[in-house]
A and B are shown apart, each in its own frame.
Chain A
Amino acid sequence: MNPSLNALLVVVLVLNLFALGTSRLVTVIKIVSLQGVLLGIMPLLIETEIGMSVIFTSVAGIALKGIIIPFMMLRAMRDVQIKREMEPLIGFLPSMLLGALATGLALLFSKALPLADEHTTQLLVPAALATIFVGFILLTTRVKAITQVMGYLVLENGIYIFGMLLLGAMPLVVELGVLLDLFVAVFVICIIINHINQAFSSLDTRRLVSLKE
C-alpha cells in the first residue's frame, strides 16, 4: 500500500474526466500535460532505491510530457487558429459520464484480475484501464485533429501507468526510446496537422473522407 501513489492516481483519474468535459483545447492540453507530470513523479514514489537511471527517466518524462509536447501542441493550435472543439459525436457531459462509468467498471474489473499480492491494494491497474478507455473516447468521438492527438496522448499515459507495475522490465534505453518515439510522433503529427489545415482549410477530420469506398 502506497498512499501517496494512490492519491496521485486519483488525481489522474479526475483529470481524465475534466479532459472529457471541456471544449476548450487549451484546457485539454494543460490537463494532459499535468497528467504527464504526475506520471513522471510516480516512479520516484514506487522505487525503494532511487538510482540515477530512475531520476533520469523521470526528469526526461516530465520534461517531454509536461513542457515540450504541450508547447508544441499550443504552437500548432496557434498556427491553425482554432480554440474550441466542436460539439462532438457524444456530447461533453455524456462523454464525461461515460468516462466516470468506465472508471467505476475498471475498479470492479481489476478486482477480478489475477494480480500479484503487492498490487491488489494499489490503484495502478484500474487507473491504467480507465485512462486507456478515456483516451479511446477522446480519439473516437472528437472531430478536431488536435483533440484526437490529445486522446492518443491520454491513451499512451494509461499504458505508461500500467508500465509502473513492471519497473525494471524496461531498461533505460528502451524507456528513452519510447519517449523519443512519442516526441517524434507529436512532431510529425503537428506537421501533418498544418498540412491538413492548408489543404482542407479546416481541422475537422470528418472532411477527410475522399478516399473512402
Chain B
Amino acid sequence: MAFFMILFPLFMAVVAAVVPSDRIRPWLLPVTGAVHLGMVLLVLANPDLAGETGWLVLDPLGTIVLLVVSTLFFFCSIHVVDYLKHSHTKNNRVFCICFNAFIGVMTLVTWSHHLGVMWVAIEATTLVSAPLVCFEKTPSSIEATWKYLVICSVGIALALLGSFFLAYASLLAGIEPTLTFEHLLHQAPLLSKPWLHAAFVLMLVGYGTKMGLAPMHTWLPEAHSEAPAPISAMFSGALLICAFLAILRIYHICITAGDLAFVSPLLIFMGLFSMAVASVFVVGQKDFKRMLAYSSIEHMGILALGIGMGGAALFGTMYHVMTHGMTKGLLFLSAGNIYHAYGSKNTDHVSGALQRLPISGTLFLVGFLAIIGSPPFGPFISEFSILSAGFNSGHAVACAFFLVFLLIIFIGMGATVLKVVQRRDPTPTPQPVFKESLQSILPPIFLLGLVILLGVHIPAPLSDLLHNAVSFLEIQP
C-alpha cells in the first residue's frame, strides 16, 4: 500500500502529461484526491494493509500528517477544477502534472523513516511545487517562485548537512553510521552530544525554513500570496506540516537522548519570534492572501512553541496540526473565490464581499473567527489545550507572550477581514462575471463542517490517534 499510495499520484501525473485537452485534464486531480483519500482511510481502518518496509513506516505522527495532507488535497482538488476554469492562463498541463506529483512526494515525506529519503522527498516537494507558484506567469509570481526555490533549496541543503552530522554522531558512538530513524532512535542516548546538538540546530534552521519559522520565513508570504488559492491552501495546511514532521523526527531523537533541556528553549524562542513577526506584519496588511500567509507563520510558531514546551502540550500541538490545516483550507479557498470575483487581492479594491459573494464572504468571515481561536471552532480547542498545558508546566512567560501576540493578530487580521467583507461594493455591477458555483463553495463548506466538528467533539478514532502520537513521542524505546 505504501508504494501504491506514493506511486499512484505520480502515475496520474504522467497521465496528465499525455491528456491533450485543457478542459478535461484538471478532472484528473479530483480522481487522484478521491483515490488517495480512500487509500488513507483504508489503511487507517485496517493497519495490516499498510505493508510497511524498512524505510517506509507509518507511525502515528506520520498518520496525522498524512490524514491532513490527504483530506486537504481532496477538497482542494475539487475546488481547483473550478479555479482553473476562471483563470486567465489556459494551458494547465504543467500545473496538473506538478499538482499530482506534489501529493505523491508529500505522501513519501509522511511515510519515510530514513532521514535521507525524507530529505530527498522534502526537496522534491519544493521542486514540484515551484511551477505551481508561477502558474500565472506574472512578474510578481515569478519573483515569488525564485525566492521560494532559492531560499528553500539553500535551507534544505543545510538540513542535509544536519542529517550528515547526525550520522556522524552515530559513527562517533562506535556504531555503523546510519540515517535510519529506528536505529538512531534506539541508539539516541549513545550519540555524540556535540554532533547531535549541531545536527539539531542545522535541521531546525533547514527544515524550519521550509516550515516558515521566522527569521527564515521570507519566502512564505510571497509564495502564499502569489500562488493560486488551492495551492496556497495546500502550502499552508499540508506542505508546512510536512516540514514540521521532519523537525518532529529530530526532536524525537533529541528528547530520547535526554536533551529536552537543549532543544526546548530553541523551539520556544523560534515559536515566539515567528508569532512576533507575524503580528508585526499582519497589522495594516492590505493584501488579504498575504495576511493569511502571515497567519500561517503565526500558527507554525504555535506548533514550534507547543513541542518546545513538550509534555502535556504535545496533544494540543498535534491536534493543532489538524485544526489549522482544515481552517486554512477553508480560508484560502474562500479567499480564492473572492479574488476571482474582484480580480484583486488588495483591500483598496476589494470590499463588500458579503454582498457580491454571500456564501464565500460568509465563509471567509467565519474562517477568520475560527483561525483566531474563538469557540466553537477547532483551533480554539487546540490552542486552549496548548496554553493550559504551558501554564501548568511552568512556561507562564512564554504563554503570556503567546496571548499578547494572539490579541495583536486578532486585531490586525480583523481590520483587514472586515474591510474585505463589509462596506459597500466599489463597483455595483461586477465587471468580471463570477458566479459562486457549487464546485467552488462546497469544498470550503465541508471544511467548515470539519472545523466545527473538531471544535465540538473529537471523534473517538481521532482521539486514539492523537493519544498514540503523544505516547509514541514520549515512550523511550
Which range contains the number of A residues in contact with the other chain?
35 or more
Q: Does A89 contact B (CB under 8 A)?
A: no
* Contact residues in B for A171 (Cβ distance below 8 Å): 114, 116
Known contacts A162-B161, A195-B134, A213-B281; A174/B116 CB under 8 A: yes
* Contact residues in A for B192 (Cβ distance below 8 Å): 114
* Contact residues in A for B143 (Cβ distance below 8 Å): 196, 208, 210-211
Q: Mark B129-163, 1 if CB is under 8 A from A, else 0.
A: 01100100111101111110110011001001100
Q: Is the CB of B120 within 8 A of A166?
A: no
Q: Is the CB of B154 within 8 A of A165?
A: no
Which B residues, 181 to 229, have Cβ-Cβ distances below 8 Å to chain A? Answer: 192, 194-195, 221-222, 225-226
CA gap between A199 and B143 in the complex, in Å? 9
CA gap between A173 and B123 in the complex, in Å? 15
Q: Is the CB of B146 within 8 A of A166?
A: no
Which A residues, 180 to 213, have Cβ-Cβ distances below 8 Å to chain B? Answer: 180-181, 184-185, 188-189, 191-192, 195-196, 199-200, 205, 208, 210-211, 213
Residues of A within 8 A of B (CB): 113-116, 132, 139, 145, 148, 152, 155-156, 159, 162-163, 165-166, 168-171, 173-174, 177-178, 180-181, 184-185, 188-189, 191-192, 195-196, 199-200, 205, 208, 210-211, 213
* Contact residues in B for A162 (Cβ distance below 8 Å): 161, 164
Known contacts A114-B192, A174-B114; A165/B281 CB under 8 A: no
Known contacts A170-B179, A177-B117; A145/B146 CB under 8 A: yes
* Contact residues in B for A177 (Cβ distance below 8 Å): 116-117, 120
Which label, helix, strand, loop or mixed, suits the secondary structure of the B interface?
Answer: helix
* Contact residues in A for B119 (Cβ distance below 8 Å): 178
CA gap between A152 and B123 in the complex, in Å? 14
CA gap between A210 and B140 in the complex, in Å? 7
CA gap between A199 and B226 in the complex, in Å? 15
* Contact residues in B for A185 (Cβ distance below 8 Å): 123, 127, 149, 153
Q: Does B178 contact A (CB under 8 A)?
A: yes
Known contacts A116-B171, A200-B139; A192/B149 CB under 8 A: yes
Q: Does B474 contact A (CB under 8 A)?
A: no
CA gap between A132 and B170 in the complex, in Å? 22
* Contact residues in A for B288 (Cβ distance below 8 Å): none
Q: Is the CB of B146 within 8 A of A192?
A: yes
The minimal Cβ–Cβ distance linking B54 to chain A, given in whole angstroms, is: 10
CA gap between A145 and B150 in the complex, in Å? 10
Report which of A114, A132, A170 forms a contact with B194, defined as CB distance below 8 A: A114
| Chain A residue, CB-CB nearest to B144 | A211
Residues of B within 8 A of A (CB): 114, 116-117, 119-120, 123-124, 127, 130-131, 134, 137-140, 142-147, 149-150, 153-154, 157, 160-161, 164, 167-168, 170-172, 176-179, 192, 194-195, 221-222, 225-226, 281
> Which interface residue of A171, A191, A192 has the most chain B CB atoms within 10 A?
A192
* Contact residues in B for A139 (Cβ distance below 8 Å): 150, 154
The minimal Cβ–Cβ distance linking A111 to chain B, given in whole angstroms, is: 14
* Contact residues in A for B127 (Cβ distance below 8 Å): 181, 184-185, 188
Known contacts A169-B177, A184-B124, A185-B127; A159/B146 CB under 8 A: no
CA gap between A168 and B175 in the complex, in Å? 12
Q: Is the CB of B149 within 8 A of A211?
A: no
* Contact residues in B for A199 (Cβ distance below 8 Å): 137-139, 142
Apart from A155-B157, A159-B164, 7 more pairs, CB < 8 Å: A162-B161, A162-B164, A168-B177, A170-B179, A188-B131, A205-B146, A211-B222
The minimal Cβ–Cβ distance linking A118 to chain B, given in whole angstroms, is: 10
* Contact residues in A for B194 (Cβ distance below 8 Å): 113-114
| Chain B residue, CB-CB nearest to A128 | B161
Q: Which 9 A-B pairs have the closest CB atoms?
A: A177-B120, A174-B116, A169-B177, A199-B139, A169-B167, A208-B143, A181-B123, A166-B177, A211-B222
| Chain A residue, CB-CB nearest to B112 | A174
* Contact residues in A for B179 (Cβ distance below 8 Å): 169-170, 174
CA gap between A170 and B176 in the complex, in Å? 11
The minimal Cβ–Cβ distance linking A35 to chain B, given in whole angstroms, is: 16
The minimal Cβ–Cβ distance linking A149 to chain B, given in whole angstroms, is: 8
The minimal Cβ–Cβ distance linking A145 to chain B, given in whole angstroms, is: 7
| Chain B residue, CB-CB nearest to A140 | B154
| Chain A residue, CB-CB nearest to B108 | A177
| Chain A residue, CB-CB nearest to B127 | A184
Q: Is the CB of B178 within 8 A of A114?
A: no
| Chain B residue, CB-CB nearest to A197 | B142
Q: Is the CB of A152 within 8 A of B154?
A: yes
| Chain A residue, CB-CB nearest to B177 | A169
* Contact residues in A for B139 (Cβ distance below 8 Å): 199-200, 210
